[in-house]
């Protein structure tokens, strides 16, 4: 895992996937908007029950203990739970269906009590304001009716008991019995009065009324919240994956993983090879970085001062498949051709050949047929036609333009390609023989450079014999694709190869900001052109 804390390394994965993160946010926002747009509106209503005035009546029937603050907190909590129970809820549903109040019956209700208060609040939700109010008032009415019925039954039971006690007290002579009979008689009178009233004193206050705005949130506001939340979550997930992703994310990571110098850095581009007048040519943004690489190869003996001549046969390898090695070889050959060099590409990747597709040539025959003796190298080698310079008008004579064109035509080099050819059962055995070594020597005598396209050494063993047949090795690594472990293992493998030096690493698919920060910027050429245009 990359441990860099540099701000560029931290935000680079987010910026690289900025459009994906934005798309996730938009999708979440759209889904949120559609959900709340089609979700039925919900309206609320509430009513309040006052239970404080029933304390004395409850005490007379012995169903409540006295409290200094009216009804006890436990009692009020129990009553709120009773309202939420099926005992009240089922009775409410039966009444609403009888009254054909189906919208109210489809709603929901909840009762709550406040500490230190004698009130219970009933809150309801339904599809219409009228249904919500109807549901709240029905809950209050059913609860009060059940409580009054229970209270009347308790009064009747208490009256029967008191009357038996009064009858027994009258039979016993004495002053005490007379006083007890008088107290019982007064209590019986109060109970008879309560029974005539038929209510325990509980009341509904602030009946629910229809009206008000829906409780559901605005779809637009929820969509905006969904957009922010989606972007935030996508960014967090992207960052988490990038922190646990062991791929190389910058030029500094590549240099540290290989412990080698970076020869050049290629910017991110969709089409590395474009067509000009029907012929393949490198994309404009790749030409300058590839010219830098070509110059380095030309001057290698001068730069290194180790007595070795400038390399002619160069093996290109990469830690992982998909690092862009084959495309870079094709582009480099085209740049060297434009510099007047005669370049040969030998495609030694017999498992996943691609040079024929990149350069628009026939891929049916090539290296395999040469190594098996079916074709001569001159028959298998194919030329990539260079772009012809524009012809001059036959009427113009001795002009400076014709001289410039003649010089350009003379300076143009050539690119020849030996593609992989047919399928072979055992590629390592075919490549490790003396025939392959002799082929590379023969091609190197006829061309300025031989660029060898080989598969990743860590994936297959095909390339191992080639390490001892070439003059130099160049590694290709791709930012955001090459794994750190693969880079380190390849560097260790190549350090054991003493016959051919590793020139360095070419970084592929590098962000423009990272290129400029590393000193590989190509803005000098653009600024020169701009100043020339201003001066004209």
In this structure, is the dihedral angle defined by the CA atoms of residues 165, 167, 168 and 170, taken in order, positive or negative? positive
Contact 417, 355 (CB under 8 A): yes
Q: In what order do the strands lie in the sheet with 203-205?
A: 108-113, 119-126, 43-50, 203-205
Across the range 462-478, mean pLDDT stands at 91
Rg of the chain's alpha carbons, rounded to an integer? 46
Structure tokens at 527: 């600024």
Residue 1 or 112, more confident = 112
pLDDT at residue 398 tops 80: no
Residues 492 and 392: their CA atoms lie apart, in Å, by 56
CATH, domain range 40-205: 3.30.1890
173 pLDDT band (50/70/90 cuts)? confident
pLDDT tens for each residue of 5-30: 456 556 767 777 788 889 999 999 99
Burial of 348 (0-12, 13-18, 19+ CB in 10 A): buried
pLDDT at residue 3 tops 60: no
Across the range 143-155, mean pLDDT stands at 88
The pLDDT assigned to 349 comes to 92
Across the range 390-397, mean pLDDT stands at 43
The pLDDT assigned to 263 comes to 93
Residue 467 or 11, more confident = 467
Q: Which residues pair with 50 in a beta bridge?
A: 119, 203
The pLDDT assigned to 65 comes to 46
pLDDT at residue 195 tops 80: no
Q: In what order do the strands lie in the sheet with 502-510?
A: 262-267, 502-510, 472-478, 313-317, 449-453, 342-347, 414-418, 382-384
- Strand spans (E) along 146-300: 203-205, 262-267, 273-276, 279-282
The pLDDT assigned to 157 comes to 85
Residue 520 or 368, more confident = 368
Dihedral angle at the C-alpha atoms of 68, 72, 73, 75, nearest 10 degrees? 180
The pLDDT assigned to 55 comes to 57
Of 149, 100, 141, 148, give the one whose Cα is nearest residue 124: 141
Provide the CB-side half-sphere exposure for 287 (13 A, CA): 13
* Separation in Å, CA 323 to CA 316, 320, 467, 474: 11, 6, 19, 13
Burial of 183 (0-12, 13-18, 19+ CB in 10 A): middle
Q: Which residue has the tokens 């960052």?
A: 239
The pLDDT assigned to 62 comes to 63
Across the range 344-368, mean pLDDT stands at 92
Structure tokens at 185: 């008689």
The pLDDT assigned to 53 comes to 66
160 pLDDT band (50/70/90 cuts)? confident
Across the range 97-113, mean pLDDT stands at 92
Residue 247 carries which DSSP code? B
Please name the helix (run of DSSP H) or strand (run of DSSP E) that holds residue 164, with its range, or none. helix 129-171
pLDDT at residue 396 tops 50: no
Mean pLDDT score of the chain: 82
Q: Which residue has the tokens 């350009």?
A: 408
Across the range 315-340, mean pLDDT stands at 94
pLDDT tens for each residue of 252-305: 889 999 999 999 999 988 899 888 887 889 999 999 999 999 999 888 766 655
Q: Which residue has the tokens 């260079």?
A: 386
pLDDT at residue 504 tops 70: yes
What are the structural domain ranges in the chain?
A: 40-205, 246-391+398-530
pLDDT tens for each residue of 115-128: 778 899 999 999 89
Residues 80 and 85: their CA atoms lie apart, in Å, by 9
The pLDDT assigned to 301 comes to 63
pLDDT tens for each residue of 213-253: 777 667 888 889 989 999 999 888 887 776 676 788 889 88
pLDDT at residue 54 tops 50: yes
Angle of helix 129-171 relative to helix 73-84, nearest 10 degrees, comes to 120
Residues 260 and 480: their CA atoms lie apart, in Å, by 18
Residue 22 or 170, more confident = 22
Q: In the CATH scheme, what is the homologous superfamily, with its name and number, of domain 246-391+398-530? A: P-loop containing nucleotide triphosphate hydrolases (3.40.50.300)
Contact 52, 79 (CB under 8 A): no
* Separation in Å, CA 249 to CA 216, 311, 350, 514: 46, 30, 30, 10
Give the pairing type, strands 119-126 and 342-347. Answer: unpaired
518 pLDDT band (50/70/90 cuts)? confident
pLDDT at residue 413 tops 80: yes
Residues 54 and 59: their CA atoms lie apart, in Å, by 9
Helix-then-strand count for the chain, H and E? 22, 14
* Chain CA centroid to CA 482, Å: 20
Across the range 438-444, mean pLDDT stands at 93
pLDDT at residue 338 tops 50: yes
Indicate yes or no: pTM above 0.85.
no
* Separation in Å, CA 489 to CA 241, 257, 264, 316, 480: 23, 9, 22, 16, 18
Residue 77: phi and psi, rounded to 5, are -65, -40
136 pLDDT band (50/70/90 cuts)? very high
* Chain CA centroid to CA 126, Å: 38
Among 139-153, 188-202, 253-267, 336-350, the least confident range: 188-202
What is the three-class DSSP state of 144? helix
Angle of helix 86-98 relative to helix 73-84, nearest 10 degrees, comes to 40
DSSP 289-306: HHHHHHHHHHTHHHHH-S
């Amino acid at each position: 895992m990359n441990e860099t804390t540099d701000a560029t390394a931290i935000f680079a994965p987010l910026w690289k996937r900025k459009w994906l993160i934005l798309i996730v946010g938009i999708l979440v926002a759209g889904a949120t908007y559609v959900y709340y747009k089609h979700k039925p509106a919900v309206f609320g209503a509430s009513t309040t029950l006052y239970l404080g005035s029933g304390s004395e009546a409850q005490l007379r029937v012995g169903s409540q203990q006295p409290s200094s603050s009216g009804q006890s907190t436990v009692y009020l909590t129990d009553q709120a739970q009773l309202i939420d129970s099926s005992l009240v809820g089922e009775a409410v549903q039966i009444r609403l269906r009888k009254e054909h109040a189906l919208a109210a019956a489809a709603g929901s209700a909840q009762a709550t009590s406040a500490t230190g208060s004698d009130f219970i609040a009933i809150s309801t939700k339904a599809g219409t304001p009228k249904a919500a109010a109807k549901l709240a008032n029905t809950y209050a009415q059913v609860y009060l009716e059940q409580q009054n019925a229970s209270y009347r039954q308790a009064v009747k039971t208490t009256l029967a008991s008191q009357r038996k006690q009064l009858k027994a007290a009258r039979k016993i002579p004495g002053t005490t019995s007379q006083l007890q009979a008088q107290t019982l008689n007064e209590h019986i009178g109060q109970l008879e009065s309560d029974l005539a009233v038929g209510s325990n004193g509980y009341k509904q206050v602030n009946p629910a009324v229809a009206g008000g705005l829906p409780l559901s949130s605005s779809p637009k506001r929820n969509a905006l919240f969904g957009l922010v939340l989606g972007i935030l979550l996508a960014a967090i997930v992207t960052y988490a994956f990038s922190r646990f992703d062991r791929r190389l994310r910058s030029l500094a990571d590549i240099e540290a993983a290989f412990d080698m110098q970076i020869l050049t850095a290629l910017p991110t581009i969709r089409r590395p090879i474009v067509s000009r007048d029907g012929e393949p040519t490198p994309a404009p943004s790749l030409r300058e970085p590839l010219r830098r690489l070509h110059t380095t190869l030309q001057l290698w003996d001068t730069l290194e001062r180790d007595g070795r001549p400038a390399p002619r046969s160069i093996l290109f390898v990469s830690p992982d498949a998909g690092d862009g090695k084959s495309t870079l070889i094709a582009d480099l050959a085209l740049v060297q051709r434009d510099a007047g060099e005669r370049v040969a590409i030998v495609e030694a990747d017999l498992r996943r050949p691609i040079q024929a597709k990149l350069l628009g040539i026939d891929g049916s025959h090539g290296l395999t047929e040469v190594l098996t003796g079916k074709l001569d190298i001159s028959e298998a080698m194919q030329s990539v036609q260079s772009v012809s310079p524009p012809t001059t008008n036959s009427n113009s004579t001795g002009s400076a333009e014709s001289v410039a064109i003649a010089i350009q035509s003379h300076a143009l080099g050539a690119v020849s390609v030996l593609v992989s050819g047919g399928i072979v059962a055992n590629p390592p055995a075919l490549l490790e023989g003396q025939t392959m070594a002799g082929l590379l020597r023969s091609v190197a005598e006829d061309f300025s450079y031989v660029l060898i396209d080989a598969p990743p050494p860590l994936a297959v063993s095909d390339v191992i014999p080639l390490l001892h047949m070439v003059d130099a090795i160049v590694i290709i690594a791709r930012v955001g694709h090459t794994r750190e472990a693969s880079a380190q293992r390849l560097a260790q493998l190549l350090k054991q190869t003493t016959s051919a030096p590793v020139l360095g690493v070419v970084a592929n698919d590098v962000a423009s900001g990272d290129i400029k920060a590393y000193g590989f910027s190509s803005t000098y050429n653009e600024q020169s052109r701009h100043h020339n245009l201003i001066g004209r």
